[in-house]
Amino acid sequence: MRSALLVLLACFAVYGQFEQGLIVGIVSDPQNAPIAGAPVQIRSTTTNVARDVTTSTSGEYNSLPLTPGRYTVTVRMMGFKERSIRSMSA
């Protein structure tokens, strides 16, 4: 019953109109091996509001819904250089 409820809720969301975006990515080392547990900060350049997420075991992250705008994505991991990507649009 729980899975049926989730499917129904997903169907309602598909028909609505939302002004939201998403930022997704993969964090990897110089040899392209995924980095699990890396802290990723997604910060709005307009409002300066930040969201912190962590990479999965496969190095993937996602921002959850964001209002449209420009964002800076920063990854800081011990043993690696900090890396930022500026002005990504959600």
Q: What ranges do the domains of the chain cover?
A: 20-89
Amino acid at 90: A
The residue to which tokens 């169907």 are assigned: 11
Rg (the chain; Cα; Å): 16
CATH architecture of the region 20-89: Sandwich (2.60)
Q: Is the pLDDT of residue 12 over 60?
A: no
pTM of the predicted model as reported, rounded to 2 decimal places: 0.72
3-class DSSP state for residue 87?
A: strand
Cα 68 to its chain centre, rounded Å, is 14
Q: Is residue 11 within a helix (H) or strand (E), and if so which, with residue range?
A: helix 2-15
Query: 27-67 pLDDT, tens per residue?
Result: 988 888 999 999 999 999 999 999 999 999 999 999 888 88
**Cβ atoms of residues 27 and 40 within 8 Å:** yes
